Amino acid sequence: MRPHRSRTVAGGVRRGSAASRDDRAEREHRDIAHITATQFLISYAVGAVGGAIVFLHADRHGSRHATAWAISVFFIPLVLAIYFIRAYRIGKRRG
């Protein structure tokens, strides 16, 4: 058997399955990148509320970096879990 070779026609345009894969990848990219205004506003509000809760909690418990924690939670929601695990462990040590 001969190995599969990609064919090109005049102008450098590929024919066959490679071209269709490129088209499919481009369509998927557009579908993933599309976000509605409502989705953006909801995610913004959730991030802002999460950041405010973390800021108030950190400030109340004497954290020197309450603002940094709040900003981190706004941009990276995973930090919310990290913050509360850390706060729980510190609170447990203080008694």
pLDDT in tens, 21-38: 677 766 666 666 688 999
Residues with Cβ within 8 Å of 77's Cβ and at least 6 positions away in sequence, in order, are 47, 50
**pTM here?**
0.61
Contact 39, 33 (CB under 8 A): no
- Category of 62 on φ-ψ map: left (φ > 0), alpha (ψ -120 to 50) or beta: left
pLDDT of 7 over the 60 cut = no
pLDDT at 74: 93
